[in-house]
Structure 1
Amino acid sequence: MRKILLAIIGVLLIVASYLGAKQLIANKNKPKPVEAKVVKTVYTDTVFNSNIKIVIQANGSLVAKRRVELYAEVQGIFKPSNKLFKPGQKYSKGEALIRIDASEHYASVQSSKSNLYNAIAAIMPDLRLDFSEVFQKWQTYLNGFDLSKTTPKLPEMTSEKENYFITGRGIISSYYNVKNLEQRLSKYNIVAPFSGILTEALVTEGSLIRSGQKLGEFIDPSVYEMEVALSKSYATLLKVGEAVTLTNLDKTEAYTGKVSRVNGSIDATTQTITAYIEVKDTKLKEGMYLEANLNAKEEQDAIEIDRNLLLDNEQVFIIKDSLLDVINVKPIYFSDTKVVLKNIPNGTIILKKAVPGAYAGMHVKAVEVNTTTNDSVQ
């Protein structure tokens, strides 16, 4: 019985092997399916060389063109006035910013002026007798001498003899001593050199002010300047008076300025040149961050494309007979998103948008994008 079962199993194995081999042979003879070739659709543009205006983009913060840092040259108590010495306070030209108590120094000035007056009065009898020809001008000077006003200039000496006489009596030294004290007295009142606004206040009314102490900052809010650093290659292209368009970072506001100054030296560390842009607008504030677009020059026979279309080896993709190819180009100027190129013949078809995984010889389907047409939405 066992032998019969083994024989049946053997026959079944032989039949199964035969059928399996026959199936393998049949599958081997079937043709392999051909994979469909994928053709990518690309956006293209036709090259038309023209004059491209190179616009240099730079940014910086605004600083008031006219600003004054206020320092004390004398010591005393800060006297209160009609306006509080606080940031944001406006002052007109010639209006007192800070008044320091000068009563002690004022007394010294009056004492010196009185001594000068007495010294001149003491020589008048001698002038009448020995210098009758100059007596009248000194008498007129003495009559016009007012202790409550600024000391007037001494009469002009008309002879060497008169000069020796006046100098010998100490009149000249007394006069200049008084003028020195009067000059120092003027430093107790700090006035606005122009109409503007206080941006920093470091002292308050009633506080003791010391000589050399910083008191605050005062600016003219009508005119601002922005300092920008540009590549040294544009040193010869920047022109004073050139119009500049400025925008805020959100691109919601635009302002018009001009190049007011260009530094005559190049920074040795960064190899950049500094230009200053002047701008006027009531909306501007000191410290605002703006972006400037400076018209540097105009490049002839060039085109402008996206930077991501330029390959690392200074080549760009072109399309010939539905195949991608590369062509050598000459980059002229790079901005954040654009590049200006030369040496591309007119009529050349180039990519308008970058294609991931693109390579020379790649089969593509071109769709032209006409960038010169302006479509209006009705």
Structure 2
Amino acid sequence: MNRKVVIVVSVALILTLAYAGMVGLKSLKKQPQKDINRKKVPFVKVEQVNYQAIATPIVEKGRLLSNLEVNLSSEVPGRIVEVGVPLKVGQRFKKGDLLIQIYDTDARMDLQAKKSQFLNKLAQCLPDIRIDYTDRFDAWMDFFNAIDLEKALPELPEITTGKEKVFLASRNILGDYYAIKSSEVKLSKYRIYAPFTGSYVQVSTQKGAVAGMGAKLAGLIESSKLELQVPVESEDIKWLRIGDQVDVLTSDGEKIAYGKLIRKSEFVDEGTQSIAVFVGLKTNNSELYQGQYLTAKFNGKLIDQVMEIPRNAVFRSNRVFVVEENMLKEKQINVLKRNENTLIFNGLTKGELLVTTVPVKAAENMKVQILK
């Protein structure tokens, strides 16, 4: 029994001495000394503040519209008997082309009957004019001979005296004359001619259909005069002036036309918070179409004594960092214009070192190194 105790005690003692030896050897190993005071100083890019005159171009996309779009309607009712240009969407026409003719035989016959009655009444008046107004007879006789039932009435002879005027009024010559002129105007409305060169964008009728008075027959656009409607941010509208030259580009950046700023809206769109401006195009390019989206490049104004920097150099809307004695200092700037990737400002002292790449977790008095 004593022998077993001795063995157990001996083994325990040996293990204890071995563990103590290992700990001692480990403590003799030299540990690397940590420099808790050493921190990595970040590098920053800076740009020396230097003011100059900078243009304020504005590039926005807009939709091409016709300068003139009208609804075609009839001022007289009747059946459409002829169309000079096919009534099809997209069909082009020239100014003065006959678009629609409405049945007018009844109206034409009625007009000729009125002219015949007028001739009869005038013939009865000529003998009295020969006797009472001898010096006016030749003028009225020439007027009588010039009347053609198939043509518009000629102009009335000039009435030179009050007595002559009373005579004509008593015979209702003047009333009948102007009634016929009114019927001539009405007859002309049975033929509808193209008011400009353009094309159909909407068609609501066809040959053989009955045109109601005032009913819409088709929609027309003028294709030779186009304008670009461009939404511009309300804060940028101050840089644009009526009459400014504008370059018009495709989505690939190719210039296809140039124009002039012709008008600006006087209200802000509630949905986009933008203001619409309109560019009149000057081009003979036949490949421009209503509804097409194009890019407008406005030159804007020239601003003196300003500087342009990346937008990511600015934080909290109008704050930047400058480097003074290798430390960051927060400064406020005066932002004049914001572009897509840059902004234009002033408000710093010329020669200051403005940080253009702000380090992560940048703060006032943070030590930095300038990247050269």
Q: Measured at CA, do residues 286 and 190 of structure 1 come closer, stay the same or move farther in structure 2, by a change above 3 Å?
A: same
Superposition pairs for residues 1-378 of structure 1, below 5 Å? 1=1, 3-4=5-6, 6-8=8-10, 10-12=12-14, 14-15=16-17, 18-19=20-21, 22=24, 30-34=31-35, 37-230=39-232, 238-263=240-265, 265-267=266-268, 274-281=276-283, 282=285, 283-312=287-316, 314-368=318-372
In structure 2, runs of 5+ residues without a counterpart are none
TM-score by length of 2: 0.84
- Cα distance in structure 1, aligned partners of 2:317 and 2:213: 65
CA distance in 2 between partners of 1:129 and 1:254 (Å): 74
**1:353 CA drift (Å):** 4.0
Structure 1 position 331, deviation (Å)? 0.8
Does structure 2 retain, via aligned residues, the 8 Å contact 1:57–1:335? no
Contact 2:308 2:344 in 1 (8 A): yes
The alpha carbon displacement at 1:302 in A equals: 1.0
Counterpart of 1:288, as a letter, is: Q
- CA pair 321-254 structure 1, distance change in 2 beyond 3 A: farther
Q: Identify if the C-alpha distance between structure 1 residues 365 and 204 changes in structure 2 by more than 3 Å, giving closer, same or farther.
A: farther
Following TM superposition, by how much is the alpha carbon of 1:333 offset from its aligned partner in structure 2, in angstroms?
1.0
Structure 2 CA distance, aligned partners of 1:296 and 1:313? 23
2:207 alignment partner, SS class: coil
Name the aligned partner's letter for residue 30 of structure 1.
Q
Alpha carbons of structure 1 residues 235 and 11: separation in structure 2 relative to 1, 3 Å: closer
1:313 Cα offset (Å): 5.4
Deviation at 1:193, TM superposition (A): 2.3
Calculate the TM-score normalised by the size of structure 1.
Answer: 0.83
Question: Displacement, 1:222?
Answer: 2.7
Q: Where does residue 374 of structure 1 map in the other structure?
A: none
Distance in 1 separating the partners of 2:254 and 2:42? 39
Q: Note the C-alpha offset of 1:112.
A: 1.8
CA distance in 2, matches of 1:77, 1:96: 16
1:107 counterpart SS class = helix
Please say which of residues 297-306 and 125-134 is displaced more in the overlay.
Answer: 125-134
SS of aligned partner of 1:296:
coil
Kindly tell me the number of residue pairs found equivalent between the two proteins: 366
Q: Are 2:262 and 2:280, in contact at CA under 8 Å, matched by a contact in 1?
A: yes
Contact preservation (8 Å) 2:84, 2:100:
no
Q: How many Å separate the matches in 2 of 1:333 and 1:125? A: 86
Give distance in 2, aligned partners of 1:143 and 1:254: 60
Matched residues in 1 for 2:115 and 2:362: separation?
Answer: 93
- Aligned mates of 1:356, 1:256 — CA distance in 2: 45
Preserved CA contact (<8 Å) 2:247 2:255: no
Opposite residue 120 of structure 1, the aligned amino acid is L
Describe the shift of the 1:301–1:254 C-alpha distance in structure 2 as closer, same or farther (beyond 3 A): farther
1:318-376 Cα distance to aligned partner (Å, 9 max, x none): 334554443321111112222111023333333344544444444545445xxxxxxxx
Task: Among all aligned residue pairs of Structure 1 and Structure 2, give the percentage whose two residues are the same amino acid.
Answer: 27
List runs of 5+ in structure 1 lacking aligned partners: 369-378
> What do the CA deviations read for 1:156-191 (whole angstroms, capped 9, x no partner)?
322223222222222222222211111111111121
Letter in 2 for 1:249: S
Q: Distance in 1 between matches of 2:85 and 2:232?
A: 43
For the residues of structure 2 that align with 1:327 and 1:196, how far apart are their CA atoms? 59
User: Contact 2:80 / 2:211 at 8 angstroms: preserved in 1?
Assistant: yes
C-alpha separation between the residues in 2 aligned to 1:118 and 1:25? 141
**Matching residue's letter, 1:149:** K
Amino acid corresponding to residue 115 of structure 2 in structure 1: K
Counterpart code for 2:291: G
| Residue 50 of structure 1: how far off its partner (Å) | 0.7
Q: Distance in 1 between matches of 2:11 and 2:194?
A: 119
- Could you say if the C-alpha distance between residues 61 and 345 of structure 1 is closer, same or farther in structure 2, counting changes exceeding 3 Å? same
